Amino acid sequence: MLFSATDSFAAIWQTLLHEIHRGALDSKHPFRYLTLASTGKQFPQVRTVVLRQFGADLEFLVYTDARSSKVQELLEAPRVSLLFYHPKKQVQVRVKALATIHVEDELAQVHWKRVSEKRRVEYQSKLGPGTRVEAPSLGWEASLEHSYFSVLKFSPLAIEVLQLAREGHVRIQFDLASGWQGVWLVP
> What number is the average pLDDT over the span 6-35?
97
- Is the pLDDT at 145 greater than 70? The verdict is no
Dist. CA 51–CA 22, nearest whole Å: 10
Among residues 62, 53, 48, the alpha carbon closest in space to that of 26 is found at 53
Q: Which helix (H) or strand (E) holds 51?
A: none
Q: Under the phi-then-psi rule, with left for phi > 0, alpha for psi from -120 to 50, and beta for the rest, what region is 130?
A: left
What is the end-to-end Cα distance of the chain in Å, rounded?
Answer: 15
Query: Which one is predicted more confidently, 184 or 128?
Result: 184
- Is the pLDDT at 7 greater than 90? The verdict is yes
Dist. CA 156–CA 95, nearest whole Å: 6
pTM equals: 0.94
What pLDDT, on a 0 to 100 scale, did the predictor assign at position 140?
74
Query: Which one is predicted more confidently, 137 or 3?
Result: 3
> What number is the average pLDDT over the span 116-130?
89
DSSP 16-35: HHHHHHHHHH-TTSGGGEEE
> Which of the residue ranges 10-14, 88-92, 127-131, 147-151 would you say has the lowest mean pLDDT?
127-131
> What number is the average pLDDT over the span 55-65?
95
What pLDDT, on a 0 to 100 scale, did the predictor assign at position 39?
92
CATH topology of domain 9-130+144-185: Pnp Oxidase; Chain A (2.30.110)
- Is the pLDDT at 106 greater than 70? The verdict is yes
> What number is the average pLDDT over the span 80-86?
98
Give yes or no for a contact between 137 and 51, defined as CB atoms under 8 angstroms apart: no
Query: Which one is predicted more confidently, 64 or 142?
Result: 64
Per-residue DSSP letter, 125: B
pLDDT digits (tens, 9 = 90+) for 27-54: 999 999 999 999 988 899 999 999 999 9
Domains of the chain by residue range: 9-130+144-185
What pLDDT, on a 0 to 100 scale, did the predictor assign at position 144?
64
